[in-house]
């Protein structure tokens, strides 16, 4: 048997993005010992890339805002598949979490009277996103990191968890390897918080980094937890499309929030042509009114560019398909035009969107203050994930918690921009607190050393094999297949094909080999990540096949309409006792009467 | 642009350069080339990256000897500076111990940060526990808070790179960090004593090499280090001044709006 270095913590947090850091801080405040592991260095998780802002009904810019409006917006955006308890807690607790961040040193942009400034974003009725230019995520992760390092948390950087360890039904630890040396480590813990983010690397065109291989979802699934809403993957309408090497990199919705407009090759603002019924009342019908809205006129209605992401992405896809796209298969996003309306527009744009300016200048030779950008949809966010209790964030496996993008429930069928950063704070905090409580109430469990040994052997297999295929090639083929068959618009035959392809890819992955040794070997890491990607890709494809309607981010060509009956269920996947995938239609978490009324009032 | 030759550092401190070639097309950045080589001919080639958009500061390395973010360095520009017939060279940051290939051991930086006194805010301004701050006060500090912790400035600072004063000098990144805290409109902590003693601010002789490489264009020397040096000097060689400050110790935080 191999030697394992063992670490012992009351609470182990897996993932050091906003959710993981917030959970670790809260758990430490609960008086238990806390370990934090992450695949990259501290401060480099996805959260650092978030641009536009963090949604919280502070009502600093528009006093009509309140948690009720935020709640109603979140539910409408999620097409009512959300866990209403989570949407409620999120809307109520986000403002406090933002202030807490400020008390730890975060510096948001200010209103004239010195309070936190808020900006417009798609699907939010009022300006609601606290922000720092277009680098809000950096501000948030750095604040949490700089606060967190003084809370007595043990941080294990560049360390990847490959298996959760159980004692009976309960989770009691995790097996990981450190990337630098490739040595295995056992983490014993009384409670574990998953905060590992999404699955965006399953697709070819994506705004997500190498880390987003669905590890948390896959670990939870194999540990027996329920995964929910896995058919709902958000394609952000505006990613870069040219040059090819930057395809998929995000262009923040903040561009549209600041007045950017979408145009096709005919110069037409095509978003005016298709405004969905639920939003008709609240959407402007003239460019004039749209401009007044983004410049703060409270009587104006929002421009159609700020409709929800699923809808904008589909409209862009339609323009491109019908031949009205830009030269490189996107459409135009124009912020430069605001020079017709305001003096010193270029300065204003550089001030409000500095990293977008820099990104286009550096990577595409485009000056966004002078010319339009070319944009198209990119895989962005995973609404589905580990099914959790709305109050405690505990999964269906005792002792296993989940928070942030890896968890399901808050966003339902579609997430509103800005609702993720607030999600991380609200539910990271809750998960940390409840994990600490759980750890205090339960002793340590026993580690099954045979399970550890088997998992370690399995992890080493790609290194031991020779002559197999390169894991990079398999990952690339998987991404192309998922993009083509489980992408923005889906249909039965393609989804069936996807499942057949997935079987073949799994067989190839089982024979892949990674040359080299255990020390900082990205080929080996890719081979291990691939097993997680394949698990979550299969669940997403199966879920997409199962849901025979179009709703939110899930669009079926063969079932183009929303079906009321389907609005009553979430799709839940779990591993059956025989190891096969079990799918279940689980009735929605019931909506309390007073919340029903809140939704009615803000329709 | 065609096939381009690269000399890439492989292995640890005792490693060496190895030659690779890959096809470069329009718009590619150095990180794309590295990924392509990884997929084609060196599956185990180690490098760090996350965002591919200059936001996370993971992909720092030395390209043709220049410290840069690989994801924001365009191949067409690199080729312009590479003499004809020569390969593009890639190696890890040299001020740190190499881990493997393009990955350097930057853990020292994370330890240094822990030694700097954390943020400590003044009492809230409003009854609801919140603060008021003017945008102009926030702006000044936001420049420093743009830092993506790429550690390129640490890599070029001669105090660390050549003189290896890692035990006595925190380096430009953490002087920026200290400046962000010291000039934070709400902060009431005092770090001047440590800056002089434990953090070794005196080692900096304002060569400005750090400012030149900062991908976030933070004016590290003029805006962060020099004002900090002034504070330290004031505090330590001006007994009357420090007495005055002692009586007005909350003044430092006078960041609220003028109204
Ligand atoms: C470009 C971009 C812009 C965005 N802009 C916004 C915005 O403006 N507003 C908004 O609300 N949202 C935005 N989002 C979404 C938001 O940033 C993410 O959803 C959010 O940051 C996810 O945070 P998290 O804490 O759940 O996970 P992450 O921040 O991704 O952290 C995941 C952590 O888990 C670790 N991890 C993963 N697997 C393992 C493993 N096997 N073992 C150990 N550790 C592991 C990773 O290393 C990492 O530390 C944006 C996303 C992107 C990509
Ligand atoms: S200016 Fe100071 S900190 Fe910057 S590189 Fe020169 S000596 Fe180092
Ligand atoms: S100050 Fe600039 S160069 Fe130094 S770590 Fe920060 S971003 Fe990098
Ligand atoms: S990969 Fe993030 S800065 Fe280069």
SS3 A541: helix
Contacts of A175 (CB under 8 A, 6+ apart): A4, A161, A162, A163, A165, A184, A185, A186, A187, A452, A455, A456
Q: Is A236 a catalytic residue?
A: yes
The residue among A205, A210, A213 whose CA lies nearest residue A250 is: A205
Give me the domain span that covers residue A512.
464-563
A249 contacts in B (CB within 8 Å)? 52-53
A114-123, A151-160, B3-12, B232-241 — which is least confidently predicted? B232-241
pLDDT at B252: 42
Q: State how far the Cα of B131 lies from the Cα of A184, in Å rounded to an integer.
A: 47
The ranges of chain B with pLDDT < 50 are 241, 249-259
Is A506 inside a domain boundary? yes
User: Which of A90, A124, A236, A301 is the catalytic position?
Assistant: A236
Is A184 inside a domain boundary? no
**Nearest 5°: phi and psi at A182?**
75, 20
Task: Outline where DSSP puts E strands in A15-158.
Answer: 34-37, 54-55, 118-119, 129-130, 154-156
What does the pLDDT look like over A235-247, one tens digit per residue?
Answer: 999 999 998 889 9
SS3 A522: helix
* Sheet hosting strand A54-55, strand order edge to edge: A54-55, A129-130, A118-119
Structure-block tokens of residue A252: 């923040």
Among residues A377, A396, A425, the one where a domain terminates is A377
> Which residue of chain B is at minimal alpha-carbon distance from A115?
B132
What does the pLDDT look like over A192-205, one tens digit per residue?
Answer: 999 999 999 999 99
- CA of B52 relative to ligand 4 center, distance in Å: 5
What does the pLDDT look like over A395-428, one tens digit per residue?
Answer: 999 999 999 999 999 999 999 999 999 999 999 9
Contact assessment for residue B161 and residue B96, using Cβ atoms and an 8 Å cutoff? no
Asked if residue A548 has pLDDT above 80, the reply is: yes
Contact assessment for residue A213 and residue A533, using Cβ atoms and an 8 Å cutoff? yes
Contacts of A470 (CB under 8 A, 6+ apart): A512, A513, A523, B39, B43
H helices within A322-448, ranges in order? Answer: 345-352, 354-364, 419-441
- CA of A556 relative to ligand 3 center, distance in Å: 46
The residue among A23, A13, A15, A14 whose CA lies nearest residue A44 is: A15
From the list B46, B118, B132, which residue is nearest A150 (CB)?
Answer: B118
Contact assessment for residue A309 and residue A377, using Cβ atoms and an 8 Å cutoff? no
For residue A136, the ligand 1 atom closest to its alpha carbon is: 8
pLDDT at B245: 52
**A38 inside 8 A of chain B by CB:** no
What does the pLDDT look like over A295-338, one tens digit per residue?
Answer: 989 899 999 999 988 899 999 999 999 999 999 999 999 999 99
Is A36 inside a domain boundary? no
Interface test with chain B among A17, A38, A48, A114, by most B beta carbons within 10 Å: A114
The residue among A537, A384, A431, A562 whose CA lies nearest residue A474 is: A537
**Which one of the ligands is nearest to A46 CA?**
1
Same domain, A243 and A344: yes
The residue among A451, A445, A24, A405 whose CA lies nearest residue A208 is: A405
Is A174 inside a domain boundary? no
H helices within A465-566, ranges in order? Answer: 471-485, 492-510, 522-546
Interface test with chain A among B145, B176, B216, B257, by most A beta carbons within 10 Å: B145
Check CB contact under 8 Å for B114 and A522: no
CATH of B106-254, one of 1.10.1060.10, 1.10.1840.10, 3.40.50.1820, 1.20.140.10: 1.10.1060.10
pTM assigned to the model: 0.95
The residue among A102, A103, A101, A110 whose CA lies nearest residue A133 is: A110
Q: Is A256 a catalytic residue?
A: yes
**Nearest 5°: phi and psi at A326?**
-85, 170
Cβ count near A278 (within 10 Å): 13
The residue among A99, A39, A376 whose CA lies nearest residue B127 is: A99
- CA of B190 relative to ligand 2 center, distance in Å: 23
pLDDT at A309: 87
Residue nearest to atom 2 of ligand 2 (CA): B204
For residue B51, the ligand 4 atom closest to its alpha carbon is: 2
Same domain, A247 and A363: yes
**B117 inside 8 A of chain A by CB:** no
DSSP code, position A224: T
* Average pLDDT, rounded, for chain A: 96
Class for the domain spanning B2-103: alpha beta
Residue nearest to atom 4 of ligand 2 (CA): B210
Split at pLDDT 50, 70, 90, the class of A168 is: very high
Check CB contact under 8 Å for A41 and B106: yes
CATH of the domain at A504: 1.20.58.100
DSSP string, chain B: -EEEEEEEEESSTT-EEEEEEEEE-TT-BHHHHHHHHHHHT-TT-----S-SSSSS---EEEETTEEEEGGG-BHHHHHHHSPTTPPEEEE--SSSEEEETTEEE-HHHHHHHHHSPPP-BPPPSSTTS-----HHHHHHHHHHHT-----HHHHH-HHHHTT--TTT--HHHHHHHHHHHHT-TTB----HHHHHTTT-GGG-----HHHHH-TT---IIIIIIHHHHHHHHHHHH-HHHHHHHHHTTTGGG--S---
Q: State how far the Cα of B184 lies from the Cα of B83, in Å rounded to an integer.
A: 46
Is A119 inside a domain boundary? no
Mutate which of B106, B173, B225 for ligand 3 pocket (most atoms within 8 A of beta carbon): B173
Contact assessment for residue A397 and residue A222, using Cβ atoms and an 8 Å cutoff? no
**B90 inside 8 A of chain A by CB:** no
Q: Examine residue A243 and say whether the peptide bond preceding it is cis (omega within 30 degrees of 0).
A: yes
What does the pLDDT look like over A30-88, one tens digit per residue?
Answer: 999 999 999 999 999 999 999 889 999 999 999 999 999 999 999 999 999 999 999 99
Tell me which residues have their CB closer than 6 angstroms to ligand 4. B 49-52, 54-59, 69, 71
How many independent structural domains does chain A possess?
Answer: 2
Residues 144-163 of B with CB under 8 A from A: 145-149
Asked if residue A122 has pLDDT above 50, the reply is: yes
Split at pLDDT 50, 70, 90, the class of A439 is: very high
Is A432 inside a domain boundary? no
Asked if residue A161 has pLDDT above 50, the reply is: yes
Contacts of B239 (CB under 8 A, 6+ apart): none
Among residues A342, A377, A412, the one where a domain terminates is A377
User: Which of A131, A256, A302, A430 is the catalytic position?
Assistant: A256
DSSP code, position A303: P
What does the pLDDT look like over A466-479, one tens digit per residue?
Answer: 999 999 999 999 99
Is A108 inside a domain boundary? no
Q: State how far the Cα of B17 lies from the Cα of B7, in Å rounded to an integer.
A: 6
pLDDT at A308: 86
Q: State how far the Cα of A540 lies from the Cα of A202, in Å rounded to an integer.
A: 10
pLDDT at B259: 33
Q: Do domains B2-103 and B106-254 have the same CATH topology?
A: no
For residue B57, the ligand 3 atom closest to its alpha carbon is: 8
Contact assessment for residue A384 and residue A199, using Cβ atoms and an 8 Å cutoff? no
- How many residues are given for chain A? 603
- CA of B207 relative to ligand 2 center, distance in Å: 5
Radius of gyration of chain A (CA): 23
Split at pLDDT 50, 70, 90, the class of A23 is: very high
- Bridge-partner residues for A55, per DSSP? A129
**% of chain A at pLDDT higher than 90:** 94
Split at pLDDT 50, 70, 90, the class of A278 is: confident
Mutate which of B152, B155, B178 for ligand 3 pocket (most atoms within 8 A of beta carbon): B152
- ipTM of this complex: 0.92
Is A472 inside a domain boundary? yes
∠A587-A588-A590 over CA atoms, to 5°? 115
Domain ranges of chain B: 2-103, 106-254
């Amino acid at each position: 048997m191999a030697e394992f270095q063992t670490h012992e913590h009351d609470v182990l947090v897996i993932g050091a993005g906003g959710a993981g850091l917030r959970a670790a801080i809260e758990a430490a405040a609960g008086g238990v010992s806390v370990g934090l592991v992450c695949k990259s260095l501290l401060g480099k998780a996805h959260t650092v890339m978030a641009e536009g802002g963090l949604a919280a009904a502070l009502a600093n810019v528009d006093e009509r805002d309140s948690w009720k409006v935020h709640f109603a917006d979140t539910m409408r955006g999620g097409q009512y598949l959300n866990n209403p308890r989570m949407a409620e807690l999120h809307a109520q607790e986000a403002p406090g979490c933002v202030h807490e961040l400020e008390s730890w040193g975060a510096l948001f942009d200010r209103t004239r009277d010195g309070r936190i400034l808020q900006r417009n974003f798609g699907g939010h009725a009022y300006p609601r996103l606290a922000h720092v230019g277009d680098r809000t995520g950096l501000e948030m992760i750095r604040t949490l990191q700089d606060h967190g390092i003084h809370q007595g948390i043990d941080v294990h950087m560049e360390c990847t968890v490959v298996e959760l360890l159980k004692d009976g039904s309960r989770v009691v630890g995790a097996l990981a390897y450190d990337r630098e040396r490739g040595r295995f480590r056992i983490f014993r813990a009384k409670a574990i918080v998953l905060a590992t983010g999404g699955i965006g690397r399953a697709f070819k065109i994506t705004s997500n980094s190498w880390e987003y291989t669905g590890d948390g979802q896959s670990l939870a699934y194999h540990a027996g937890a329920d995964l929910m809403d896995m058919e709902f993957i958000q394609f952000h309408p505006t990613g870069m499309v040219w040059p090819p090497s930057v395809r998929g990199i995000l262009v923040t919705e903040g561009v549209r929030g600041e007045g950017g407009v979408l145009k096709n090759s005919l110069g037409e603002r095509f978003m005016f042509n298709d405004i969905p019924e639920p939003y008709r009342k609240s959407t402007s019908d003239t460019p004039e009114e749209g401009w007044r809205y983004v410049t703060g006129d409270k009587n104006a209605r929002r421009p159609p560019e700020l409709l929800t992401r699923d809808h904008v992405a589909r409209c862009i896809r339609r323009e491109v398909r019908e031949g009205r796209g830009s030269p490189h298969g996107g459409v135009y996003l124009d912020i430069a035009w605001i020079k017709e309306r305001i003096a010193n527009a270029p300065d204003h744009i550089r001030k409000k969107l500095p990293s977008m300016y820099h990104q286009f200048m550096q990577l595409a030779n485009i000056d966004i203050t002078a010319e339009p950008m070319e944009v198209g949809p990119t895989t962005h966010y995973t609404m589905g994930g580990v099914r959790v209790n709305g109050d405690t964030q505990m999964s269906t496996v005792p002792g296993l918690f989940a928070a942030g993008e890896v968890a399901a429930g808050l966003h339902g069928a579609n997430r509103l921009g800005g609702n993720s950063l607030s999600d991380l704070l609200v539910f990271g905090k809750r998960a940390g607190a409840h994990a600490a409580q759980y750890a205090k109430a339960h002793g340590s469990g026993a580690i099954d050393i045979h399970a550890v040994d088997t998992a370690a052997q399995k992890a080493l297999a790609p290194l031991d094999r020779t002559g197999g295929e390169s894991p990079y090639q398999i990952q690339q083929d998987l991404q192309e297949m998922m993009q083509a068959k489980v992408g923005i618009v889906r249909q039965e035959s393609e989804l069936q094909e996807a499942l057949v392809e997935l079987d073949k890819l799994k067989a190839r992955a089982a024979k892949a080999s990674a040359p080299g040794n255990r020390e900082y070997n990205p080929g080996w890491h890719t081979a291990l990540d691939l097993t997680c990607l394949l698990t979550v890709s299969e669940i997403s494809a199966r879920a997409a096949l199962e849901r025979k309607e179009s709703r939110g981010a899930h669009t079926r060509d063969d079932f183009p309409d929303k079906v009321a009956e389907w609005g009553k269920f979430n799709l839940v996947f779990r591993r059956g006792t025989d190891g096969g995938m079990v799918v279940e239609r689980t009735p929605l978490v019931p909506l309390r009467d007073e919340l029903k009324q809140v939704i009615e009032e803000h329709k | 642009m065609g096939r381009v030759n690269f000399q890439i550092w492989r292995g640890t401190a005792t490693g060496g350069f190895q030659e690779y070639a890959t096809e470069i097309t329009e718009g590619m950045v150095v990180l794309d080339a590295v990924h392509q080589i990884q997929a084609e001919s060196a599956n185990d080639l180690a490098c760090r990256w996350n965002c591919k958009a200059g936001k996370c500061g993971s992909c720092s390395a030395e390209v043709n000897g220049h410290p840069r973010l690989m994801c924001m360095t365009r191949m067409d520009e690199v080729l312009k500076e590479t003499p004809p017939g020569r390969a593009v060279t890639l190696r890890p940051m040299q001020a740190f111990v190499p881990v493997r290939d393009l990955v350097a051991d930057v853990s020292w930086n994370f330890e240094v940060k822990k030694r700097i006194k954390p943020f400590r805010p003044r009492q809230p301004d409003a009854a609801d526990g919140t603060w008021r701050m003017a945008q102009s006060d926030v702006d000044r500090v936001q420049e420093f808070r743009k830092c993506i912790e790429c550690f390129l400035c640490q890599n070029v600072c001669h105090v660390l790179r050549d003189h290896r004063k890692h035990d006595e000098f925190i380096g430009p990144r953490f002087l920026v960090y200290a400046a962000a805290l010291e000039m934070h409109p709400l902060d009431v902590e005092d770090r001047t004593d440590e800056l002089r003693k434990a953090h070794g601010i005196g080692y900096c002789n304002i060569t400005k090499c750090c400012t030149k490489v900062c991908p976030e264009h933070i004016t590290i020397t003029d805006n962060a280090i020099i004002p900090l040096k002034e504070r330290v000097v004031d505090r330590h060689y001006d007994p009357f001044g420090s007495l005055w400050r002692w009586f007005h110790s909350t003044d430092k935080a006078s960041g609220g709006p003028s109204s």
